Amino acid sequence: MKRTISPRKGQKGSIAIMALVICLLGTLGLTAWVSLINARINAVDALDLTMDRRISIQNSKAAAKEKIYRDVVTETTPPTVSPAVLGTGNWFRYEIPAPATWAQSPLASPTTGLFNQFATSSGTLNTQDLDFVVSDKQGVSAETYTAQIRSRSSPLSGEIFALHTPTLSPGETNLVDGSLNIYGRSLIYTAEPGGNMGTLTSIDYITPPLPTSTLALQSPVDPTGPAVFPSNYPFPPRTNNKYSGAEAYGGELNVIRPGVGNEENSLYQVVLSKGPVSVNGNTAHGPDRGVISDGSGTVTIQLDDGALEGAYIENAQWLFLQGQETPTDYANAALLPPLYIVLNQRPTDLNDLRSVFMLGANNRLLILGVKKDPPGGGETGVVFWNSNSNPQWRLMLVVENTTTRLQNAFGGTVTLKGGIRTDRSIIQENLGGPGRVDVFAEAVDPLSLAGFDVRNAWIEMYRK
């Protein structure tokens, strides 16, 4: 007897097999999906740790850089061992070991030779290296960086005109007015949208980042030409000293006689190193190496006296700087060593400096610093008095805490070869007909500025 298989039973078996296959595929798919989700979770966790590490490393670098700016750059002694510094929630961690070698203070100018560890040309750039270690918030993955504390004379950087932040009246807007023409780069900390630069012209200029950038200067080559916009050259935080015991990275100028911070980076210290003639305007003195005080507030200096390399003056109302009157004397003056003059008006001085008279012309490298200590004083005139009305002066002029009036006594063009730095308004005036002041870079002996001019400092960091 034959036995037949019902078709329905075959269909049921096929359905069962298909169900098993589907369950198997579903299980495999679910397992793959769960594995993918797990891998994604692990990747996100790893990425979170990586981001934490990167953020804490960046925070650590920024905190260490701030520490070096605050406590190393403007100091005269090498930094001591710094224990590991932890930020809130361990979001930064750094350590600054005491340096094995410390050649000099970063802002100090050398008295013998030219200190130059890393520069493209000899004698123009000072560098002091300092290593530090940063790590992530877990205290692992330590990285060592070198902070190169670099400093340079502002004019040697091409910035032959610098308008710094006013320190006696913070928030005040400095003004530049009159016909002042800069044949080089201008550094303008206090530029204001809408223009507080008057008729200043400059081939190039640089400013810190501003909320709005509507300021534009005209080219001195063609004042009616297109506007010159700010340079996009990097502008790192920089300093030349402390001010009132605090860090000064907002463009403050404190280099004549600082009184706080790094006295080494000051014209006063340079003058002291020159065996200067020191005079009080109310005390008769001289003639002493070309310096005379009449005892009534008037001081006269003969710039041709080669025995004089430094002069320090207080309590003067009038200062006369006698330059050269003949072509022969003018040519011979270029052979004399640089001359440094500091006039510091102290709070106890009875006289308020009225004017500095620049008589004749001058071909001797002259660095002149004029400072009025707080609370300051009246405006100060710088009067160019030359009968030919077109005098040339080799002059590095640094003015602190007083508005400067550059006055052409007989009109014409006054040519300054060197530069101007000030933290107050500067106004060019003509007392005897149309005139102007043109400023060019010092080209005859720039290395002398590298060794003895005051400096600006900044930091560059490199991973070791």
pLDDT tens digits along 67-87: 888 777 877 677 766 666 766
- State how many domains the chain has: 2
Of 122, 153, 184, the domain-final residue: 153
Q: CA 96, CA 83: separation in Å to the nearest integer?
A: 7
Q: CA 197, CA 176: separation in Å to the nearest integer?
A: 5
Is 33 a domain residue? no
Residue 141 shares a structural domain with residue 170:
no
Q: Answer yes or no: is pLDDT of 301 > 50.
A: yes
| Higher-scoring residue by pLDDT: 59, 282 | 282
Of 110, 126, 153, the domain-final residue: 153
pLDDT of residue 113: 41
Is 48 a domain residue? no
Give the predicted TM-score (pTM) of the model.
0.82
Q: Answer yes or no: is pLDDT of 4 > 60.
A: no
Amino acid identity at 88:
T
Residue 193 shares a structural domain with residue 107:
no
Residue 126 shares a structural domain with residue 186:
no
pLDDT band at 128 (very low <50, low <70, confident <90, very high): confident
Q: CA 312, CA 330: separation in Å to the nearest integer?
A: 24
pLDDT band at 170 (very low <50, low <70, confident <90, very high): low
Is 461 a domain residue? no
Q: Answer yes or no: is pLDDT of 123 > 60.
A: no
Is 36 a domain residue? no
Which range scores top for mean pLDDT: 195-204, 304-313, 387-396?
304-313
Q: CA 50, CA 273: separation in Å to the nearest integer?
A: 54
Q: Answer yes or no: is pLDDT of 166 > 90.
A: no
Is 100 a domain residue? yes
pLDDT of residue 273: 85
pLDDT of residue 218: 63
In this structure, the number of other CB atoms found within 10 A of the CB of residue 400 comes to 26
| Structure-block tokens of residue 78 | 């090498």
Residue 85 shares a structural domain with residue 179:
no
Q: CA 242, CA 369: separation in Å to the nearest integer?
A: 18
DSSP secondary structure letters along 345-369: E-TT-S----EEEEESBEEEEEEEE
Is 206 a domain residue? yes
Is 27 a domain residue? no
Is 233 a domain residue? yes
Q: CA 340, CA 449: separation in Å to the nearest integer?
A: 11
E strands in 295-448: 298-302, 310-314, 318-322, 339-345, 355-359, 362-372, 380-385, 392-400, 404-408, 412-422, 426-430, 435-441
Residue 89 shares a structural domain with residue 213:
no
Q: CA 431, CA 436: separation in Å to the nearest integer?
A: 11
Which range scores top for mean pLDDT: 41-45, 140-144, 398-402?
398-402
Residue 259 shares a structural domain with residue 135:
no
pLDDT of residue 104: 64
Residue 197 shares a structural domain with residue 219:
yes
Q: CA 258, CA 266: separation in Å to the nearest integer?
A: 7
Residue 120 shares a structural domain with residue 180:
no
Residue 170 shares a structural domain with residue 126:
no
Residue 167 shares a structural domain with residue 107:
no
Residue 141 shares a structural domain with residue 163:
no
- Closest C-alpha among 116, 200, 98, 93 to residue 426: 200
List the domain range (segments joined by +) for residue 257. 156-455
pLDDT band at 297 (very low <50, low <70, confident <90, very high): very high
Of 153, 184, 208, the domain-final residue: 153
User: Which of these ranges, 242-256, 329-343, 375-389, has the smallest mean pLDDT?
Assistant: 242-256
Residue 281 shares a structural domain with residue 162:
yes
User: Which of these ranges, 15-29, 150-164, 366-380, 386-400, has the smallest mean pLDDT?
Assistant: 15-29
